[in-house]
Chains A and B, each alone.
Chain A
Amino acid sequence: MATKHSSAHPGGVGRWLSTVNHKDVGSLHLWFAGAMFFVGGALALVIRAELFQPGTQWLDPLFFNQLASLHALIMIFGVVVPAYLGLASWQIPLMIGAPDMALPRLNAWGFWLLPFAFVLLLAGLLLPGPNGPPATGWTLYPPLVLQGGAGTDFAVLALELVSISAVIGAMNVAATVLNLRAPGMALTRAPFFAWAWLVTALMLLAVTPVLAGAGALLLADRHLGTQFFDAAGGGDPRLWQHLFWFFGHPATYILILPAFGIASQIIPTFARKPLFGRVSMMYATVAIALLALISWGSHMYVAGLPLAGRLFFMFTAMLIAVPMGVVVFNWVATIWRGSLSFETPMLFALAFVLVFTLGGMSGLMLALAPLNIQYHDSYFVVAHFHTMLAAGALFAVLGGVYYWLPKWTGRMYDERLGRWHFWLSLLGFGLAFLPQHFLGLAGMPRRIPDYALAFAEFNMLSTVGAFILGLAQILFLVMVARTIRGGRRAEDRVWEGAEGLEWTLSSPPPYHSFTSPPKLR
């Protein structure tokens, strides 16, 4: 029975403040992620400018470390996760044939917590010296974090708000994928993006509360006199490391699994072939998630774990390479003998596969306990996770936006601008982060504003690359603005090889996506 849905909604600012519509909330997430991307990117460029030459140029070392912490917290919790949530909110109902997310009001609540959380985090910048944001990096290790001022409290409280938002978002995605699939769409036949997000959501539910709890213990140690992280009271600073990495290690996979989903939508479309080994890929993502949950100690090889512990975490962390190999193999096999075409989304998706494989290799090196002792806390680590995030996750999100923007706006983007954006981003990424591998292997430590003369050339290259990567994103902004304001009309099935329910709707789709469940072929 098809019932008429009201598609009336208020206009102007009121629409955005009170909306619970999945497309509106998705757009809010994406605009917020975009804004924070430029804030976090500006911080990165300040950091790279300081590192252009040896010696301290204009940043006080404490302030340098505070900026590095803010950069990391913003990029992880303010850019990548909200961007994934925005794509989920926009796309999952379209792809599984639902009118909206399962819990639309919670969807909006999850979004609104984010801007408030980042106001709280950035408020630390108004406070002087050690009272400012934490100087600990995003890992917030005690005892250093216990010595910070009000800015540290604001950062931890901001993380509590982000945790609530993440739990709400995860529970909503899980409820949507589990409950609102079109009749006849078995879970194994769900679009891979929806599947990858379901696995991500279950992981988020399993680890985010641990971050929230650990943050509460930190605040208790700072202000209530408890001694969880103080050996004089029987505590242990490594308790934080265990709790934090129990969250943080799965979090690194949370930051990449939705990217798998995006790439697995784009690559079959432009290879004009179905995704190779789709069910094996579904099992692989589950295996990745399960192994990620028991590998947290691979970040703690130098923290004094017993030998058995180091061996266990080394094997589990390295074992993840097996399902990862399945995933990459399937992408390559999808491309194999396909009728390829190279529109901007495909360029970003292929670059994602490439840099993800590269980052996976350096990840394997870091997972090896004996090697890790050498690489720990060096620029090699920085190079590894920026390969995964500043190229991997970022390229997947950008590719996804290019892929779905014509569906969202009903207009085609400017292909030439898109290609410029892609090639400049790839060049910027390569220049910025490949030299950092060599810096790390040569012994340059991370989180430091000054370095030995021997590291000068590679740092100079890295800074030039970072500025190219950063400035190239302005092209992206121009592209999005021009697409929204005008451009060639997009067809309903935007891409020739695109399969899936979202392409059966008009471009742009109606305000409530599927008012009655679609019939599956």
Chain B
Amino acid sequence: MASADHYSPPDTSPWPLGAAAGLFVLALGAGLAVNGVGPGKWLALAGAAVTAFTVARWFGRVIAEGERGGYSQVVDRSFRWGMAGLLFAEAVLFTALLGALFYLRQLVLPVLGGGDLWSGFSADWPTAGPRGPEAAAPDSIPGPGQFSPIGAWGIPAINTLILFISAGAVVWAYWGLIRDNRAQLITGLFLTIALGAVFLALQVYDYARAYAELNLRPATGVYGATFFVLTGLHAVYALAGVGALIVLLGRALKGHFLPDRHFGLEAGVWQWLFVSAAWALLFVFVYWL
């Protein structure tokens, strides 16, 4: 075991170059695909595959080094600062998009409704704008030239409950590790993953319903745009969280993590608690109010 303040920097690694090349091919392919170049989407898929492969090998290497006891407390603290930075950046991105919703709804909408430019347009939220379809009652079947917003007290309320329970489950799992109760750790992680998967499945179901029944799409004016971008970003965070938790469960089953050495697990717990907290904001400001 290395001494507490020992820090031996890693040797060479091909993964940084690989991960950067993968993201480049992904971006290039996406740029070509949205401009109607056919093979673009295959290029983007290849880039995503290279990135995923590289990141998987990279993480595998770091996990192996950690399990060999190669990381001292100094390195552990560096990882924690790094993860804190990543979570902060995730929160900033999410807050910026919430800010966009606030700006459009509270500041822009009254101006659009109050001027002569768009006469006859009433500034009521939800709206798809002066030239968009009109809003019907939440969760009702919209008529022609109408859309329906998603109401708060159906699936979104159930999802809120699911995420809150899952946040409890993941903390319970963490306590299991601290008390060296492996069964509690594994059960808790499994429970969190199951709840997270149900949450994501319900979100997919809600999206499908929005498309098929409610005439609600990203192109449905500012309501549709903010709804899909905000819930979509949250779904990406949640997907990353569930993916991380699945890896962590696999590692827990293999006997990884010690009560005093478990940065990877803690990072996964942080991410999942962030996902739950961010959802609370979404539920209040996107679905409910």
Contacts and interface: CB of A to CB of B under 8 A. Distances in A.
Interface of A: 1, 3, 5-6, 9-10, 14-15, 17-22, 98-100, 102-106, 108-109, 111-113, 116-117, 119-120, 123, 149-150, 153-154, 157-158, 160-161, 164, 167, 170-172, 174-176, 178-180, 183, 205-210, 212-214, 216-217, 219-220, 222-228, 230-236, 239, 242-243, 246, 512, 517
A161 B89 contact: no
B127 A234 contact: yes
Contacts of A170: 85
Contacts of B253: none
A17 B20 contact: no
A518 to B, nearest CB: 12
Contact of B81 (A102, A160, A164): A102
B102 to A, nearest CB: 11
Contact of B222 (A175, A213, A233, A243): A233
A228 B23 contact: no
A520 to B, nearest CB: 14
Contacts of B218: 220, 224-226
B278 interface: no
Given A99-B8, A103-B78, A227-B219, A232 B132 contact: yes
A242 B107 CA distance: 12
B8 A3 contact: yes
A19 B15 CA distance: 10
Contacts of B8: 3, 5, 99
Given A1-B3, A99-B9, A227 B221 contact: yes
Contacts of A213: 93, 96-97
Contacts of B88: 205-206
A103 B97 CA distance: 29
B31 interface: yes
Contacts of A150: 31-32, 35
Contacts of A224: 218-219
B223 A113 contact: no
B10 to A, nearest CB: 6
A206 B95 CA distance: 11
B128 interface: yes
B208 interface: no
A106 B225 CA distance: 34
Interface in B62-81: 74, 77-79, 81
A225 B217 contact: yes
Contacts of B30: 157
B96 A18 contact: no
B224 A108 contact: no
Taking each of A14, A117, A157, which has the highest tally of chain B beta carbons within 10 Å of its own beta carbon? A157
Given A20-B16, A227-B225, A5 B9 contact: yes
B207 interface: no
B201 to A, nearest CB: 23
A207 B28 CA distance: 25
B120 to A, nearest CB: 14
B219 A108 contact: no
A105 B58 contact: yes
A233 B225 contact: yes
A104 B219 contact: no
A20 B35 contact: no
The 10 closest A-B pairs by CB, nearest first: A234-B129, A171-B85, A225-B219, A112-B20, A116-B24, A100-B9, A226-B225, A234-B222, A108-B16, A175-B81
A3 B96 contact: no
5 contacts: A3-B8, A161-B23, A224-B219, A226-B229, A235-B225
B108 interface: yes
B14 A167 contact: no
Nearest to B97: A213
A186 B15 CA distance: 35
Nearest to B100: A239
B45 to A, nearest CB: 16
A164 to B, nearest CB: 7
A238 B16 CA distance: 37
A98 B7 contact: yes
Given A161-B27, A231-B118, 20 more contacts: A18-B12, A103-B78, A105-B10, A116-B21, A160-B27, A170-B85, A205-B85, A209-B96, A210-B93, A217-B97, A224-B219, A225-B217, A225-B218, A226-B224, A226-B225, A227-B219, A232-B130, A233-B219, A234-B127, A235-B221
A116 to B, nearest CB: 4
B60 interface: no
A393 to B, nearest CB: 24
A106 B27 CA distance: 20
Interface residues of B, number: 69
B82 A233 contact: no
Contact of B28 (A21, A100, A120, A246): A120
Nearest to A150: B35
A146 B25 CA distance: 23
A214 B23 CA distance: 19
B23 A113 contact: yes
Contacts of A183: 5
B5 A178 contact: no
B17 interface: yes
B90 interface: yes
B81 A19 contact: no
B104 to A, nearest CB: 7
Contact of A179 (B31, B58, B77, B127): B77
Nearest to B15: A105
Contact of A1 (B6, B14, B92, B104): B6
A100 B74 CA distance: 12
Contact of B128 (A104, A158, A233): A233
Contacts of A222: 34
B254 interface: no
Contacts of A123: 28
B130 A231 contact: yes
A227 B88 CA distance: 28
B281 to A, nearest CB: 15
A157 B100 contact: no
A235 B221 CA distance: 8
A234 B219 contact: no
A158 B23 CA distance: 10
A44 to B, nearest CB: 26
Nearest to B225: A226
A6, A109, A117, A246: residue with the most chain B Cβ atoms closer than 10 Å: A109
Given A102-B78, A206-B92, A239-B108, A223 B31 contact: no
Contact of B100 (A206, A208, A217): A217
B81 A171 contact: yes
B21 to A, nearest CB: 7
Interface string B29-46: 011101100000000000
A167 B132 contact: no
B41 to A, nearest CB: 13
A69 B223 CA distance: 32
A179 B20 contact: no
A164 B7 contact: no
A233 B20 contact: no
B131 to A, nearest CB: 4
